[in-house]
Structure 1
Amino acid sequence: MHSYQVLIIGSGFGGQCAAVNLLKAGIDDFLLLERRDFPGGTWCQNTYPGAAVDVPSPLYSLSFAPYRWSQMYATQDELQRYTQHLLHQQGLQDKVLLGAEVEAMDWDSAQQRWIVQTQARGRFQAQFVINASGPLSQPLIPPLQGLADFTGHQFHSNQWDHHYDYRGKRVAIVGSGASAAQIIPAIAADVAQLHVFQRSAHWVLPRPDRHFSALERRLLGFKPAYTLLRWLIYWQLESRIIAFKYSRPAMTLVQRQALGLLKRQVPDPQLRRQLTPDYSIGCKRVILSNTLYPALGRANVSLHGREQGIQSLDASGITTRDGQHLELDLIIWCTGFDTTDGMIAYPVRGKDRQLLRDAWAPYPRAYLGTCVPGFPNLFILCGPNTGIGHTSLLFIIESQTRYILSCIRALKTQGLQAIEARPEAEARYTAMIHREMQRTVWQSGGCQSWYRSSSGHVTALFPGFSFSYHWLTRGLKPVDHQLS
């Protein structure tokens, strides 16, 4: 059994951020376990046509690793290059073990170590485990009647099949969220027919993208200029929480902007009605796009709403609820991920063999979204209520990493082995989170979204300013923890 001080599960931005900060703290006895046969996480896995980030690139990057971005909203290929750049720049290539999918994790109370079992790489032991598998790593496909009977081609957007040529084909896209909104404009002109299945309409705002000039890119390589631009973008985005939580008039103004875009780009009144949401803007993830509405208005594109949703599948295609049968060559599932209840897919057993999924009944929760009582030395990056609906998630990840390092340092300083959040501290923190959540559009905006767990609690997002979370994680509060 291989033994390390720290095991990091996942090699995306979260895993890389944790690894770099461990190195800065003088800790090099760690390993990143990556389940795929390549490192890099989300932006190396999601390679579908049109894939791009919806946060400005200078902010959607790690603070210690500036980059000369080519445009304000980076596309997948550039984000993949940035991910690989980080691995090489920070010397992490030899710290990543590929093909190491974790299938179980158990706390050994006698040794005060985690035992991590992988499918193909054997067992590992570590004092600390940082789970950085990410919230968008477990694709979901609904268990529809006849799913296995379809003899055409099908795949999830997260697992795009680049060997399949969709040009000239009859295609269905199931789902109309963020990934679908990027795929639809990218393929609509090339397919014979495109059927889009929409459970509910999404709010769409213009995407203020632009390419940087040669001079601007040179300035992005100058750390003070890069830092200044990051902070300007940060404060601009941070103001969005005012609309999402504190100001209905501000939300109304943003909603009016979205309705204006819809009116300008969708002249067909029937299609416009289908695309008009019946809930407050922000309740679901807002889509940024200048090309989605024109693509949906093409003659070869059909939009199917809830009433025309999928009844069943058969060998040749889809039967809709209103009795249509659609002959199809390809189905693309843009149906999202198990981001809440299935946040960690494999069984985790803590003290007294308690399963994490049992500790998380009826909904996932954690102190600072990072530590769960009864699970010592386990830290969850992008854990419950750490997602962010208005700015860059990487800002939250860096804040979490700072808190994790403070926990590790506290044990090292005191010559102790294990740390966990006290149950009463977690309960107090969770009560605060859901009390504040009641004031947000995510809880009260009148929609059903992937932000909610099956219990109805919004567990994907932090209900406030990101700098508030940064303040909460500024250092270890000994009174909230049990050290042994």
Structure 2
Amino acid sequence: MPGPSVLIVGAGFGGLAMALELRKAGLTEFTVLERADDLGGVWRDNTYPGAGCDIPSPLYSFSTVPNPDWPMRFSLREDIHDYMRRVVDEHGLRPHLRFGVAVEAAAYDEAEAEWVVTTGTGEVLRADVLVPAVGQLSRPALPDIPGMAGFRGPAFHSARWDHGVPLDGKRVAVVGTGASAIQFVPHVAREASRLTVFQRSAPWVLPKPDVRYRPWHKRLFRRLPLTRLVERFAIWLLCEVLALGLVDLPVLRKAVAWLAGWHLRHQVADPGLRAKLTPDYAPGCKRALFSNDFYPAMTRPNVELVTEKITEITTGGVRTADGIEHPADVIIYGTGFAASEFLAPIAIRGRGGRALAEAWSNGARAYLGMTVPGFPNLFLMYGPNTNLGVGSIIYMLESQARYVVDLLRTVRPGRALEVRAEVADRFDREIQARLRRSVWTLCSSWYRDQAGRITNNWPGTVTAYRVKTRRAERSDYHEHG
């Protein structure tokens, strides 16, 4: 029996995980649609200086495609992007990729039990199954600050870094101190004549246990794969233990706070600056960051940390609530992503023409983070409540891909599977009950939507998610056709 046809939207790690699993299962009728001219997702888009992953590469990689040649434990963007390209070429995925195809809308055709996808050029594509894999960190979020359009110099978001703008000798303003800023600020500080960093809340910053792999490391990993697996297992185990501190074992947060406090005291001698860089919320409530060079950069004589609220962007700089105008030649926004706006701006309609945006009017939710009642044969990669506070998202993506493929093996031609509403509701109630006990309720962050609902994070370990998705239960689904 031929397998169903599948359209995957997005060629980042999520789309590639699904493609790999389909290929492994012998289901070859699939196409990956990518709006850009290259694969890679966030590792294609984020080209700012110092861009890299804060999860060690032995774990931040596909379990079925190990890489003994990582240059360092915490690899940079270029090495991760090269790895993704190698995965595509070595596993015969490139013929399935279509670049320059921006999906604008998708509607479910009940009569044909198919998804009808419309692209930006007006092209119409049909498939039995639709798998959006657009990620949670693909749409840069710019702040709503008066006067932004009137700034007379260059201004850009870190995820759209303008490499044509020279920073050498310039006065640079950086708005935000999140995960991206932590990485690029040290580089900008070395170039700019004056760097002003505007911080809304101080991040928890931990020391980064990075190492550069020597040739003998790589030979060892290649000739004795067990050594590579031991390192991967050790990293995975540490992440699992730390993940327990987010919900079930809050005592672990004290250890994180102590280590971060030691790191700050060790690298920042000035008590006034140290006070500004001390977080005022529980560790884990916002994303913890790893860096050995951010704090030293903040102590440089040409760097100033401003914690006053920004009131406006002027033609020549940034004005804060104390009335001071901080002059700037360039503004860089390190203000994160529209993470809770899942699948936007793609307009998706399911059975009866119901919009997914309407189904999610009270907050995004999906059974196992993957599928929504009323939307047959629609499976999300990296959907609601599957982000991690600690650990490798690739482990989660592999679990999702295996689950979806397990389910697709049972789909008959001309039929579609839709999760039962009572099953999805029960799962959501269980997840939200656990989330109400989590550290993420203790502060405002991108993990929560405007109403305060935690829509992004998984409240547990990756092992717990793997157990829940180890087998697709057909009884959880209606069959249509």
Q: TM-score, normalised by structure 1?
A: 0.96
2: CA distance, partners of 1:280 / 1:261? 17
2: CA distance, partners of 1:279 / 1:36? 38
1: CA distance, partners of 2:320 / 2:232? 47
1: CA distance, partners of 2:285 / 2:343? 21
SS of 1:406 mapped into structure 2: helix
1:277 to 268, 276, 279: 279
Look up the match of 1:313: 313
1:75-129 per-position Cα deviation (integer Å, ceiling 9, x unaligned):
1111111111111111222211111111111111111111111113612111101
1: CA distance, partners of 2:338 / 2:221? 36
Provide the aligned C-alpha RMSD in A: 1.4
1:439 to 431, 437, 440: 437
1: CA distance, partners of 2:218 / 2:263? 31
1:246 Cα deviation after fit: 2.3
1:264 to 263, 266, 277: 266
Look up the match of 2:416: 418
1:136 Cα deviation after fit: 0.6
Which runs of structure 2 are paired with 1:28-427 in the superposition (5 Å)?
Answer: 28-67=28-67, 68-120=69-121, 122-222=123-223, 223-305=225-307, 308-412=308-412, 415=413, 417-427=415-425
1:249 Cα deviation after fit: 2.7
2: CA distance, partners of 1:452 / 1:189? 35
1:450-478 per-position Cα deviation (integer Å, ceiling 9, x unaligned):
01111211111100111010010011112
2: CA distance, partners of 1:342 / 1:21? 23
SS of 2:247 mapped into structure 1: helix
1:468 aligns with 2:468: no
Q: Partner letter of residue 87 of structure 1?
A: V
1:270-315 per-position Cα deviation (integer Å, ceiling 9, x unaligned):
111111111111110001011111111111111111xx22211232
Do the aligned partners of 1:130 and 1:381 also contact (CA within 8 Å) in 2?
A: yes
SS of 1:410 mapped into structure 2: coil
2: CA distance, partners of 1:455 / 1:380? 23
1:416 Cα deviation after fit: 5.4
Q: Partner letter of residue 427 of structure 1?
A: D
2: CA distance, partners of 1:224 / 1:258? 32
SS of 1:312 mapped into structure 2: strand
Q: TM-score, normalised by structure 2?
A: 0.96
Look up the match of 2:451: 455
Q: Partner letter of residue 97 of structure 1?
A: R
Count of residue correspondences:
475
Look up the match of 2:426: 428
1:298-356 per-position Cα deviation (integer Å, ceiling 9, x unaligned):
11111111xx2221123222221111112211111111111113443211111111111
Structure 1 residues without counterparts, runs of 5 or longer: none
1:40 Cα deviation after fit: 1.7
2: CA distance, partners of 1:266 / 1:232? 31
Do the aligned partners of 1:421 and 1:482 also contact (CA within 8 Å) in 2?
A: yes
Shifted more, 415-424 versus 259-268: the winner is 415-424
1:37 Cα deviation after fit: 1.6
SS of 2:131 mapped into structure 1: strand
1:477 aligns with 2:473: yes
1:247 Cα deviation after fit: 2.4
Do the aligned partners of 1:99 and 1:121 also contact (CA within 8 Å) in 2?
A: no
1: CA distance, partners of 2:15 / 2:176? 29
SS of 2:190 mapped into structure 1: coil
Shifted more, 313-322 versus 280-289: the winner is 313-322
1:440 Cα deviation after fit: 1.5
1:248 Cα deviation after fit: 3.0
2: CA distance, partners of 1:303 / 1:396? 37
2: CA distance, partners of 1:437 / 1:49? 35
Structure 2 residues without counterparts, runs of 5 or longer: none
Q: Partner letter of residue 170 of structure 1?
A: R
Q: Partner letter of residue 239 of structure 2?
A: L
1:209 Cα deviation after fit: 0.3
Do the aligned partners of 2:342 and 2:383 also contact (CA within 8 Å) in 1?
A: no
Do the aligned partners of 1:69 and 1:220 also contact (CA within 8 Å) in 2?
A: no
Identity of aligned residues (%): 40
Q: Partner letter of residue 103 of structure 1?
A: E
Q: Partner letter of residue 338 of structure 1?
A: A
SS of 1:104 mapped into structure 2: strand
1:212 Cα deviation after fit: 1.2
Look up the match of 1:7: 7
Do the aligned partners of 1:103 and 1:117 also contact (CA within 8 Å) in 2?
A: yes
2: CA distance, partners of 1:232 / 1:316? 50
1:133-168 per-position Cα deviation (integer Å, ceiling 9, x unaligned):
111101110222111111210111111111221111
SS of 1:78 mapped into structure 2: helix
Do the aligned partners of 2:400 and 2:469 also contact (CA within 8 Å) in 1?
A: yes
2: CA distance, partners of 1:104 / 1:154? 31
Q: Partner letter of residue 454 of structure 1?
A: Q
